[in-house]
Amino acid sequence: MIARIWRGTVRESDKDIYYEYLRKTGLKEYADTPGNRGVHTLRRIVDGKCEFFLLTLWDSYDAIKAFAGPDYEKAVYYPEDDKFLIDRGPKVEHFEVLES
């Protein structure tokens, strides 16, 4: 199993509306992609900003590529992300899950 990690930051005032947006976009697409084993959605407030941390679990790199495309280390973004995100990276991280 492979873990995929994405991080992004929004204004604290946007934390709930962005979470709802995530549910309709990325979280839904994760769930709809064969080979996805689930997602853990975490958030925390720091200095007036809300950090989101998404940990998704996948059967294989091929399953991740079905979601993210051939450049699977590139983060996937949606049209309105620019409206909310004040910090985000161009890449995600992948880890082999040894035990859970």
CATH number, domain containing residue 64: 3.30.70.100
Residues 6+ apart with CB under 8 A from 30: 36, 39, 56, 67
Assign 79 to helix, strand or coil: coil
Which of 100 and 57 is assigned the larger pLDDT? 57
User: What is the structure's pLDDT at 45?
Assistant: 98
Check pLDDT > 90 for residue 84.
yes
Residues 6+ apart with CB under 8 A from 57: 1, 2, 3, 4, 36, 37, 38, 39, 97
Averaged pLDDT for residues 19-32: 95
How many angstroms separate the CA atoms of 55 and 36, rounded? 11
What residue type is assigned to position 13 of the chain? S
Write out the residue range of the structural domain in which residue 11 sits. Answer: 2-96
Check pLDDT > 90 for residue 37.
yes
Q: What percent of the chain has pLDDT over 90?
A: 95
When divided into structural domains, the chain yields a total of 1
Helix (H) or strand (E) holding 26: helix 26-32
Averaged pLDDT for residues 65-86: 95
User: What is the structure's pLDDT at 100?
Assistant: 81
User: What is the structure's pLDDT at 87?
Assistant: 94
Check pLDDT > 90 for residue 28.
yes
